[in-house]
Amino acid sequence: MVHTKLNHIYNYIAYFLGTILFKLGDKIYLIAIPWLVYDLTKSSANMGMMFLVQTLPLIFISPIAWMLADRFSRKKMMIFCAVIQGCLVLVIPLLQHMDLLKIGFIYVLGFFIASAGACFNVTNGTIIPQLFSKHQLMRVNSIFQFIDTSSVLFGSVLAGVLISLIGIQPLFVIVGVSYFPIILSLLMLTLRHSSDHPIKTTGWQSLKEGAHYLWNHSVLRSLTWLIFIVNMANGALVSMLVFFSRDELAITSTEMGWVYAGAAIAQVAGILLLNLMNKKNHPLNLMVTTLIISALGIVGTALSWNWISLMICIAIQSAPVIMFNVLNKTFRQQIVPSFILGRVNGIIMMISLASLPLAGFVTGILSELINIRWIFLTLGIISMLTVIRFRSLGTQKANVIAS
């Protein structure tokens, strides 16, 4: 019993220490890379292309990663991905120092960095049930999301300040180096058990099994397609936020950092309230409600006039999304068997995120012709109307589960 408790403590410390390091570096990178692209090109089309190459791995690499996570050591996969990410990020300042950095190189590096990151996040989501018991999942996922959100707060402010103080090149060095200490924390993890059943099927058969499970689960299937539609607006906003901030509002790097930080504070508040709200409401009802509020934030973003109003609207948009992610992630971990969780999550991610890269890329092209405000406004309204149309989903599916 004492040994088991010690393992739980070690897992908490090691897992969340590694999560803090990874998320902090990741959030700084996600601000630094569009800032670099804008400095080099001043083009919304190039920023849309950058978003495309960074989100494609979420669709095409993630299902493969989920399958591998069900087959091989998840701890070793996470270590390998952290090393790859750190090395590739360090190539960016090296090329910049040698005056060889071109937009084409950034696209290629961004794709492979995002691929390694997708594999890391996929495996990270799958390994949680092996580290913690079922009754700990909501708490663990809430803490994980709290760390993720806090990293936005500190990472955004830190990135904005460091860009203005030391420049973009040294910042990429810091980000690249930050991935390597994660290895030590991962080595400390002690897995409670392996997959419930060994996988003996081929890769294609494994993916078919995950797709078959999803198709036959009406709740997961409906939520997945709903997210696919909503992510069109989210993809447009995320991909063009830096461009909108610099081109329309003339925001500085420090102010941009505070925009993300302010939004992160709202996200933290949302996470702290989540457990209380989840006790009083069915999670499916809460998930649909959060998507409606998020759509309102996108509409507000289109109407913002300075960095403070932008910060408020991004907070309204992003905090409900974070709450939705916690609810949705916990819901899947509770109802999907561990031995097939990786494959099911991979298929869900592939479908639900498929609209992100296309939305970001098309928005980048359209914003060369149409004011970006009108694009945000239109997509926000469409997203809100779509979620309202599906609002009955929460009640209907809740009744199905209850029965």
**pLDDT, tens digit (0-9, with 9 covering 90-100), for 123-149:** 776 777 777 766 666 677 777 767 776
pLDDT at 225: 80
How many CB atoms are located within 10 Å of the residue 9 CB? 10
Is 131 contained in some domain? yes
- Does residue 287 contact residue 324 with C-beta atoms inside 8 Å? yes
Share of residues in the chain with pLDDT > 90 (%) = 11
Look-up of token digits 């001043």: 42
Amino acid found at 356: L
Dist. CA 354–CA 234, nearest whole Å: 12
Structure tokens at 315: 């907070």
Dist. CA 230–CA 233, nearest whole Å: 6
Length reported for the chain: 403
- Does residue 47 contact residue 242 with C-beta atoms inside 8 Å? yes
What is the maximal distance between C-alpha atoms in the chain?
Answer: 65
Q: What is the CATH number of the domain that holds 274?
A: 1.20.1250.20
Is 82 contained in some domain? yes
Is 133 contained in some domain? yes
Closest CA to 168 of 287, 53, 28: 28
The number of distinct structural domains making up the chain is 1
- Does residue 66 contact residue 342 with C-beta atoms inside 8 Å? yes
Dist. CA 25–CA 13, nearest whole Å: 18
Amino acid found at 215: W
pLDDT at 381: 92
> Confidence band (pLDDT; 50, 70, 90) for 102?
confident
Is 51 contained in some domain? yes
pLDDT at 153: 64
Domain region containing 282: 2-189+202-402
- Does residue 219 contact residue 397 with C-beta atoms inside 8 Å? yes
Is 197 contained in some domain? no
Is 149 contained in some domain? yes
Dist. CA 124–CA 75, nearest whole Å: 9
Dist. CA 157–CA 256, nearest whole Å: 8
Dist. CA 148–CA 264, nearest whole Å: 9
How many CB atoms are located within 10 Å of the residue 166 CB? 12
Dist. CA 208–CA 63, nearest whole Å: 11
Dist. CA 244–CA 231, nearest whole Å: 18
More confident residue, 115 or 21: 115
Share of residues in the chain with pLDDT > 70 (%) = 80
Is 19 contained in some domain? yes
Average pLDDT over every residue of 333-361: 73
CA-based angle 302:308:249, to the nearest 5? 55
How many CB atoms are located within 10 Å of the residue 107 CB? 16
Q: Which region among 20-29, 32-41, 110-119, 389-398 has the lowest average model confidence (pLDDT)?
A: 389-398
Dist. CA 87–CA 176, nearest whole Å: 7
Structure tokens at 308: 């403070």
Q: Which region among 2-11, 17-26, 132-141, 297-306 has the lowest average model confidence (pLDDT)?
A: 2-11
Structure tokens at 55: 């989100």
- Give the distance from CA 362 to its chain's centroid: 20
Sign, CA torsion 156/159/164/169? negative
Q: Which region among 117-121, 153-157, 328-332 has the lowest average model confidence (pLDDT)?
A: 153-157
**Tens of pLDDT, residues 317-346:** 888 887 887 787 777 777 777 667 666 776
What are the backbone dihedrals phi and psi of residue 401, each rounded to the nearest 5 degrees, phi first? -65, -40
